[in-house]
A and B are shown apart, each in its own frame.
Chain A
Amino acid sequence: DAKTTQPNSMESNEEEPVHLPCNHSTISGTDYIHWYRQLPSQGPEYVIHGLTSNVNNRMASLAIAEDRKSSTLILHRATLRDAAVYYCILRVFQGGKLIFGQGTELSVKP
């Protein structure tokens, strides 16, 4: 399974943008890039996904490098409720199981 590499932790100030990087140099052509986040004491929740083009939704934006070997999750204005572990995942086509890595623990300071 293709692997992803993320920083272990990042800090942000409230109401500032946050850029969470992810490297996935072994990505294959059919792998979708998914981001999930896990708030304390909860199950993971879907944030956003993309294949080749940049994507926006109400929660975040996803910027995908042209060669698809890296991507960046962008939270436009971090809030205290965004403090969570963010996982960058390459979605396996067959069956759709998610292969989680260590994730990035984001802390948000008021």
Chain B
Amino acid sequence: DTGVSQNPRHKITKRGQNVTFRCDPISEHNRLYWYRQTLGQGPEFLTYFQNEAQLEKSRLLSDRFSAERPKGSFSTLEIQRTEQGDSAMYLCASRGLTGGPAHEQFFGPGTRLTVL
């Protein structure tokens, strides 16, 4: 399978704990995006990387959230001191450089986080 993969697919944690999610984009895709989706809503943009550089962060990305893409390949999203409001589906997408702004993004299956 050469699509975007995300791990874990499901995570249940207690409030106050830290969690980390991983996204493996399509090989050679230089742009990687993180989105968050709560029940019944469309995905909301969180942040994106071009290679290893984090170029934009949404105001939704509070200080408890940090994302990295150390070698320009896989990315991690960490949430510290989780709160119940963090419960959501976290989606990762990647996109190649060629094709300009119209080029499609390829989404992974998401990581569903439940904070108890």
Distance to closest chain B CB from A84 (angstroms): 12
Q: Is B74 an interface residue (CB 8 A)?
A: no
Tell whether A101 pairs with B42 under 8 Å between CB atoms, given A42-B109, A43-B93, A49-B104: yes
Distance to closest chain B CB from A52 (angstroms): 12
Distance to closest chain A CB from B36 (angstroms): 11
Distance to closest chain A CB from B31 (angstroms): 7
Stretch at the interface among A10-18, A60-68, A73-81, A88-96: A88-96
Contact B105–A46 (Cβ < 8 Å): yes
Compute how far the CA of A45 lies from the CA of B109 in the bound complex, rounded to whole angstroms.
10
How many B residues are at the interface, by size bracket?
20 to 34
Tell whether A51 pairs with B102 under 8 Å between CB atoms, given A42-B109, A100-B44: yes
Which residues of chain B are near A45, meaning CB under 8 Å?
107
The chain A residue with its CB closest to the CB of B4 is: A43
The chain B residue with its CB closest to the CB of A49 is: B102
Distance to closest chain A CB from B3 (angstroms): 9
Partner of A87, one of B42, B45, B91, B104: B42
Compute how far the CA of A95 lies from the CA of B46 in the bound complex, rounded to whole angstroms.
12
Q: Is B65 an interface residue (CB 8 A)?
A: no
Which residues of chain B are near A91, meaning CB under 8 Å?
101-102
Contact A32–B101 (Cβ < 8 Å): yes
Q: Is B25 an interface residue (CB 8 A)?
A: no
Compute how far the CA of A85 lies from the CA of B41 in the bound complex, rounded to whole angstroms.
10
Contact A43–B108 (Cβ < 8 Å): yes
Contact B44–A46 (Cβ < 8 Å): no
Within 8 A of A (CB), among B34-65: 35, 41-45, 48, 55-56
The interface of chain B, by Cβ under 8 A from chain A, is 4, 31, 33, 35, 41-45, 48, 55-56, 91, 93, 95, 101-110
The interface of chain A, by Cβ under 8 A from chain B, is 30, 32, 34, 42-46, 49, 51, 85, 87, 91-93, 95-103
Instruction: Give me the 8 closest cross-chain CB pairs, A-B, nearest first.
Output: A100-B42, A43-B107, A46-B104, A97-B45, A93-B101, A32-B102, A100-B43, A44-B107
